[in-house]
C-alpha cells in the first residue's frame, strides 16, 4: 500500500517566522478545512502550546473514564495523530471533546516511558509504537495507511515536525499562507527546523498555485519535486 499524501499547511511571516505576529488564524483554518484529509498530524508541543494559550491545565492526568473516550467529531472527520515519543502530553479529555476529529491516536517510540504507555491505556487512548529512539515517521505513515485507511494527511504543526518530515522526504505538498508581517530577529520558530536541510539536501519545489486573500495574505502552494536544488 502506498503511503498517504502529506500536505504541510502553515502560516508564516514574509521572513519565515511562525511566531510574534497576529496572522489571520480564522483564514488559516478555513483553508485547512477545505483540504481532503483523512488524518491531521501534529507534534505534542503544538498541543502543549495550544493548551497554555487557552489556559488549560495539563499537569497530572484526567479522571479515569468509565469507558473509552467518545470523540465529539463525526465519523467523516479526520483522525488526529499526535507524535509524542517522549510522553509529554498527559491529558486528552479536552481534545476528545473537540468536534474536529473522529478519534485520537498517539505515536510513540520504543523509548517512550512505559508509565506513559500505561497512562494512555488507562484512558482508552489508542497508541502505536513505531521507531526505536524516536518516532519513525515513515513507518507511522505506513501504519496510518494500512491500519486506518488514511490516504491524505494534513500536517498542522511547528517547524520541528515539519522539518523532520521534509528531511525524510515525506512531504508531497506545502501550503503556505504568507502573512503581511516582517518579524526580524533570530528564532528557532521557523517553518522548517532541520539543520541538515542545507547544501545537497535543499529541497526543490514547484509552484502550483498563488492567491491573494483577505487582509493582504498570500496563499502559495508548492509540490515537492523530490529533486534537490543545486
For 31-46, the pLDDT digits (tens) are 999 999 999 999 999 9
The grid coordinates of residue 34 equal: 477545505
Count of structural domains, the chain: 2
Strands (E) across the chain are located at 5-12, 39-43, 79-83, 103-108, 126-129, 152-155, 173-178, 203-212, 218-228
**One domain, residues 45 and 27:** no
**One domain, residues 145 and 48:** yes
**One domain, residues 85 and 142:** yes
**One domain, residues 144 and 43:** yes
**One domain, residues 132 and 62:** yes
SS3 51: helix
Say if strands 152-155 and 203-212 run parallel, antiparallel, or are unpaired: unpaired
* Range of the structural domain that residue 131 is part of: 39-150
**One domain, residues 57 and 133:** yes
**One domain, residues 31 and 76:** no
> What mean pLDDT is reported for the chain?
89
Q: Rounded to two decimals, what is the model's pTM?
A: 0.91
Predicted confidence (pLDDT) at residue 22 exceeds the cutoff of 60: yes
Higher pLDDT, 32 or 20: 32
Q: Does 158 fall in a domain?
A: no
- Residue pair 144/150 in contact (Cβ under 8 Å)? The answer is yes
**One domain, residues 145 and 201:** no
Amino acid at each position: 500500500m502506498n503511503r498517504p499524501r502529506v500536505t504541510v499547511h502553515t502560516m508564516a511571516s514574509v521572513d519565515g517566522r511562525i511566531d510574534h505576529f497576529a496572522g489571520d488564524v480564522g483564514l488559516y483554518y478555513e483553508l485547512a478545512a477545505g483540504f481532503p484529509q483523512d488524518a491531521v498530524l501534529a507534534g505534542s508541543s503544538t498541543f502543549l502550546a495550544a493548551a497554555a494559550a487557552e489556559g488549560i491545565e495539563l499537569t497530572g492526568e484526567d479522571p479515569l473514564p468509565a469507558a473509552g473516550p467518545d470523540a465529539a467529531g463525526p465519523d467523516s472527520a479526520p483522525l488526529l495523530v499526535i507524535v509524542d515519543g517522549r510522553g509529554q502530553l498527559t491529558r486528552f479529555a479536552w481534545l476528545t471533546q473537540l468536534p474536529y476529529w473522529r478519534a485520537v491516536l498517539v505515536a510513540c517510540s520504543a523509548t517512550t516511558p512505559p508509565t506513559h504507555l500505561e497512562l494512555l491505556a488507562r484512558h482508552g487512548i489508542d497508541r502505536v509504537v513505531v521507531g526505536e529512539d524516536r518516532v519513525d515517521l515513515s513507518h507511522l505513515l505506513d501504519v496510518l495507511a494500512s491500519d486506518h485507511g488514511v490516504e491524505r494527511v494534513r500536517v498542522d504543526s511547528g517547524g520541528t515536525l515539519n522539518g523532520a518530515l521534509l528531511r525524510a522526504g515525506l512531504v508531497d505538498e506545502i501550503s503556505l499562507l504568507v502573512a503581511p508581517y516582517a518579524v526580524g530577529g533570530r528564532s528557532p520558530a521557523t517553518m522548517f527546523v532541520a539543520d541538515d536541510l542545507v547544501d545537497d539536501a535543499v529541497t526543490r519545489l514547484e509552484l502550483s498555485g498563488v492567491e491573494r486573500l483577505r487582509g493582504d495574505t498570500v496563499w502559495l502552494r508548492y509540490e515537492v519535486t523530490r529533486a534537490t536544488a543545486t
